Structure 1
Amino acid sequence: MSLAFILLITAFPLLSRAFASKSFPNGGSRPAIVPSTIPLLSHTWTFVLGGSKMAAAFLQTSMTDGAIRFKGIGFDMTVLSGPKLIRKALISPQDLHMNIISANAMGNLFGAPKALCDAIITDNSGNAAKPIPGTQVPLGRRFARNQGIFFKEAFAKRSLDEIIPRFTRNLYDQCELLHVGTDWVEMDNLFDFVHCLVFPSAVKSFFGDTMLQVNPNLLPDFRAFEDQLPFLAMGLPVWMKPQAQRARTKCLDAMKRWRQEATKTEEPLVSSDQLWDSAWGLGAIRRFRYLFKDTDGIFGEDAWAATDLAYVWAFTSNVIPASFWYLFETVSRDSLLQSAKEQVSTSKTSAGILQAGELAKNPLLQSIYAETLRLHTASLLTRTSKRDHKIDSWIIPKDQYVMVATQVEHRSPYWNTVDPETGSRHSPYSFYPERFLTKDEDGNVEFSMEGKQGRWLPYGMGEHMCPGRHFAKYEMLLVFAVIVDVFDIELMTPTGWKPEDDMSRYGLGATRPKQEVKFRIRQRASSL
């Protein structure tokens, strides 16, 4: 989502890592600019090309525990690295904000009307219950605050207790709809398999059955929309790529049909905090509309469609590739797959029912989850400075973009790990499923995130940390657990081969596989 504000930049050779910074009277200095071979254009082409070119630029030039700058036509951004600087930049909201980033994402990606995007930019009241002193934003226009209220309710424990069992049942139902028998069936694309399993399960878990009933083609339409996100993110005129506009319009029309149907058929409220509604799905979704009832007409049909599309994207787009990688990385290692299956089995009741809470507490399954996100996410955590301020010795001028590249942090030397049992070394670029495991004094294996704050960042950090992170964890664990509970699955790829991470969506979160993964599958003779 952080790509939405820039026209992005260069395949360039790194000239030097040693260069001077301009000094300021207060003793601070601007971060030094990464050299480029074309002074006027500077890094513009790297960011225009985006994807793997931009990923390489960040990986090659980022300074451990330091700051650098990229400049080009229309942009000047500071890239921070290291947990100390990252914590200072992302945890405290008083100097940095996301208004411009959020507004551009809503407009460029999801087609929100200009009036809504402008209102998001001008909402300077903050996220807290009490607006920032001196601001005069009406309650209905406090977009960041109202969105925070929605997410807090949508992912509260009582809501998760409603969503998680529904998601689990939906996964089993989708597995049954595949009509896979006890004989092996060959399939060409493991990512497509996971997408067809997870997308409808997640959508129905949040929006109920109505969303897919009135939009039976939403799955392929949404896939087509997702494929156009890299173009849409750049904010270029849509006439340059009409298929991108068409794909988004189909999804926006689907959101309008759902909201019209939900409004028409909504059931009477049992209570003001009703958890589930047959027409709207999660109760928080039905109540969300009332937070914006006094917006001077900003929230019309088009604004609601863009908002609903953004939430469908948020609830599905990243967890699907993350679930693919969890499955692939585990299934591609026979011993790991066997161990993981055994852990899934211990997470079931005596009646054979999967317990999501037990899955989420299992050390090995958690470590695979954390390692999957470390290796296969590439987010750009972006903020804009509200005023001139300092982060350590670095001066950040007003309206400067400040960015953290999670892929850079997840590949820092910190992640060089030595297996305590074998002494083998595991680089930051390799998948090591035990990387997050430790042993206590009694020799018991535990999952641990100790020392990794500000280093493991798939969900961001601070007040803008992904509000759905806890459910995303359950989703990934449940997708794997249900698949191996229902099916036997084997990869039909060369031993040791793995697809590349597709960097075309660099900056938007979890990466897709670049190549197709052929596999075969059959129904298990008995459950685990």
Structure 2
Amino acid sequence: MASILTYLKTYAGKDLGGLMGGLGAKDLPILSASLFLPHGAANTYTVNLYQLVCLCLSQGNAFIGRALNGLKPSTALEWLALLVCLTMLTSLITISITGIQSALAVSSSKSGKRPPMLPYWIPIAGSIYPFLGDGLSLMRRFMQKYGYKVPAGLKLGTTTLYFVSDPQFAPIFFKPSPQMGANPVLLYFMQNVLGTPRRALPLYAEDNSGGHPTPFPGSCVEPENRIRFHHMQAAHKFLAGSHNGIQLSERYTDILRRNISANDTVQDDWIDYPDFYAFLRDMMFSASTEALCGSEILRLIPNLAQDFWTYDDHVPTLMKTPYRWLAPKAYKARDKMLDDIKLWHEHAKAHSDFTKIDPQDPDWEPYFGTKYVRARQKFFHDIKMMDANARAAEDVGLIFAASVNSIKVTFWVFFEVFTRPALLARVREIARLIHESSEGKESHTVARGNDPLLQSIFAEATRLRIAGIIGREVLGNDLTLGKWSIPKGSFIGLYSRSAGLNSDVWKTGTADDPHPVEAFWAERFLVYPKETRPSESRSSDPDGLKDEQRPHPKSRPCTPVLPEKSSAKPIFSTRGLNNVYVPFNGGTLACPGRQFARYEAINTLVEFALNFDIECKVPTTGWEPRMNGGFFPMGSLPPLDEGIIEAAYASD
């Protein structure tokens, strides 16, 4: 690649023949890999393609000069050589122009300027192929180039997606606003991934009333069709809050404990389990689904867990392939999930009344499960545009949201704890002390979920292992962010990992005990008395604002001031991190099930830590599996390497 760039400089402004005549076959594999081939591809097809293209260029270099003098290609190889060289030239011109435009945008001092665009090789397509193929690596390069202060864009075909990484601008993503919408992103996800029928999409597309009881000014949506408001009302009434979260978590923990005891593979002797991740996710899925949706759905559909994880494996394909004929297996898996949910709905309606959500009605029953699920069914049936298929798509989305992030993150919690013997010993000691001290006071489920270290472990895993994009569309006028201006109609995104890896705002240890943001540190969310984070400018609340309401303060170095060791007890805190710790969105749009997700992961860890010895089989000390970037930007990333999932365990 260096020789290509050198040649660009040497022949800038000279004739085409001089430029192309100096490119040798040795340059082409480097360039073609960037343009056409997946990163790191090493299969036979790729090798043969490399050889073919190199042969074409080596044979065609001499011909290019003749072609420019009016001679026509005489062989297929010469035609191919000409095509390759012209493609290279087009790509080199494109990357040069977009690179210059990006540099000028960054260096410009004028106000109201457009953000820079990441330079790209392919005209029109832009960065869409690397975004769809290995978006995790693309975003890593993106952040390395622009850092955390400069909003910048990706050209994705005919669409531009601008990323905002400066924490001071994060609050625009966290509150409903007439100027910010999520309709196009939401509608695409609903239609492709969840299978929402086309006739129901206008219900979501036309709802401009917001999620509050009072609609936004100018909204004419009928009260029964305010789908966003109904969703938020049901979630905040029956899912969010300490009472609902604790109740659901306790039910989940009881079911998990019961399922572990009843599992035939759990024995008193050491056994090898070749796919511990699959075992863990099936255990957690069954427990969380029963706790949320009732026991009848699993009795009626015994293979629901298998159907769901097959569907989840195809979700990245569904996101990237809007045509059924291009991905028949993916759409078949989605259809199977929809059929499962419709079967459950019909069975539950025949045996239960989903309108019973009053205080005197049971909090949980076996057919529809929680009041939250029943409340959703109630307002679904009140909306004329929602038929059985639309209701099924909604509950596929519910189970997807309740399972995917929390279960995959729990695997990473297990990996980090069970590969660190000292940390595992601390977790077991905490669990033992809670068991001895919380009798008659609060449930073990609650005490575990509120323990500072256990909360910090969970939060650190979500910081590192969730790679999602909080996306919005700019409505109304152009969006002004400092000296930058995002044009109306553009899409903007807050990338969770760019926020989570910003070393300017996170604790990174000390010079003697460093903990870089790229690595797991169990105590990153623990704060000692009088300690301030880099993201904080004060340790009190003189203005009376809640954390999510306060503008992001200027960063300053972490200045821990610790009392005597005998009295220093850290607490778990996200103070000062509301704009950078965003695995569950933020502000008024924060996921209402985030408390349940925390209790779910922590109590699953503790139940296994107390009752089992688990030995993760890793190649070397300090090794960790790669994250499966194919699931970017869907949220929590599962492990890519299969070796780490193999484990040996025995009942303790």
How far has the Cα of 1:303 moved from its partner?
A: 0.3
Q: CA deviation at 1:278?
A: 2.6
Structure 1 counterpart of 2:583 = 458
Who is 1:5 aligned against?
none
Residue matched to 1:374:
463
The 1-side partners of 2:109 and 2:145 are apart by 24
Number of the residue aligned with 1:509 = 635
2:178–2:216: 8 Å Cα contact kept in structure 1?
no
Cα distance in 1 for partners of 2:334, 2:143 equals: 32
Partner of 2:152: 68
User: How big is each residue's C-alpha offset from its partner over 1:457-490, in whole Å with a ceiling of 9 and x where there is no partner?
Assistant: 1111233221211111111111101111221111
Structure 1 counterpart of 2:623? 497
Q: Is residue 2:266 matched to residue 1:266?
A: no
CA contact (8 A) 1:140 1:293 kept: no
Does the residue aligned with 2:504 lie in a helix, a strand or coil? helix
The answer as to 2:368 corresponding to 1:280 is: yes
1:424 aligns with 2:513: yes
The answer to whether the 8 Å contact 1:62/1:79 transfers is no
CA contact (8 A) 1:113 1:303 kept: yes
* 1:133-144 correspondence to structure 2 within 5 Å: 133-144=217-228
2:643 aligned with 1:487, yes or no? Answer: no
Deviation at 1:22, TM superposition (A): 12
1:64 Cα deviation from its structure 2 partner = 1.3
CA distance in 1, matches of 2:38, 2:472: 22
How far apart are the structure 2 equivalents of 1:385 and 1:22? 25
CA deviation profile, 1:96-133 (whole Å, cap 9, x unmatched): 11222222211111100012222211111111101112
Q: Superposition pairs for residues 374-393 of structure 1, below 5 Å?
A: 374-388=463-477, 389-393=479-483
1:204 partnered with 2:290: yes
**Cα deviation code 1:302-341 (max 9, x no counterpart):** 0011011000101111111101000110000010100111
State the SS of the aligned residue for 1:378.
strand
Alpha-carbon distance in structure 1 between the residues aligned to 2:224 and 2:330: 32
Q: How much does 1:357 deviate?
A: 1.6
Find the aligned partners of 1:259 and 1:171 in 2 and give their Cα distance. 24
The residue that corresponds to 1:473 in the other structure is 598
Aligned-partner SS, 1:186: strand
Q: Which residues in structure 2 correspond to 1:41-440 (within 5 Å)?
A: 41-91=125-175, 93-156=177-240, 157-179=242-264, 180-266=266-352, 272-273=358-359, 274=361, 275-296=363-384, 298-349=385-436, 355-388=444-477, 389-414=479-504, 417-419=507-509, 423-440=512-529
List alignment gaps of at least 5 residues for structure 1: 1-8
Across the two proteins, how many residue pairs are aligned to each other?
A: 513
Distance 2:294 2:447 in 1: 26
Counterpart Cα distance in 2 of 1:117 and 1:92:
20
> Residues 140-199 of structure 1: CA distance to partner in whole angstroms, max 9, x if unpaired?
211111111121123233333431221011110121122322210111122112112100
| Mean Cα deviation higher: 83-92 or 229-238 | 83-92
Cα distance in structure 2, aligned partners of 1:268 and 1:147: 16
Q: State how far apart, in whole Å, the 2-side matches of 1:392 and 1:235 are.
A: 37
Aligned-pair CA distance for 1:57: 4.0
Alpha-carbon contact 2:127-2:154 (below 8 Å) kept: yes
Output the amino acid matched with 2:486. Answer: I
Gapped regions of structure 2 (runs ≥ 5):
1-36, 40-90, 530-562
Task: Tell me if the contact between 1:116 and 1:303 (Cα under 8 Å) persists in the aligned partners.
Answer: yes
* CA distance in 2 between partners of 1:343 and 1:464 (Å): 33
Cα distance in 1, alignment partners of residues 587 and 148 from structure 2: 21
User: Mean Cα displacement is larger for which, 344-353 or 82-91?
Assistant: 344-353
Measure, in 2, the Cα distance between the counterparts of 1:125 and 1:461: 20
Once the 2 structures are TM-superposed, how far is the Cα of residue 277 of structure 1 from its aligned partner? 2.5
Per-residue CA deviations over 1:506-527 (Å, capped at 9, x if unaligned) read: 1111110111221111111xxx
TM-align CA RMSD? 2.5
CA distance in 1, matches of 2:421, 2:222: 58
The structure that is helix-richer by fraction is: 2
Name which one, 1 or 2, has greater alpha-carbon Rg.
Answer: 2
Distance 1:258 1:245 in 2: 20
Taking a change above 3 Å as real, the CA distance of residues 500 and 411 of structure 1, as seen in their structure-2 partners, is same
Q: Give the distance between the partners of 1:80 and 1:117, measured in 2 at CA.
A: 29
- Indicate the SS of the match to 1:32: coil
CA distance in 1, matches of 2:414, 2:622: 15
Question: What are the superposed Cα offsets for residues 399-457 of structure 1, whole Å, 9 maximum, x if unpaired?
Answer: 2100011111211222664435x822111111111111222244112222222221111
2:325 is paired with a residue whose SS is helix
Question: 1:95 Cα deviation (Å)?
Answer: 1.8
Aligned letter for 2:155? Answer: K
Matching residue of 1:18 = 103
Q: Secondary structure at the match of 1:171?
A: helix
For residues 312 and 383 of structure 2, the distance between their equivalents in structure 1, rounded to whole angstroms, comes to 30
Amino acid at match of 1:408: S
Q: Which structure carries more strand by proportion?
A: 1
- CA gap of 1:418–1:251, structure 2 versus 1, over 3 A, is closer
Percent of pairs with identical residues: 25
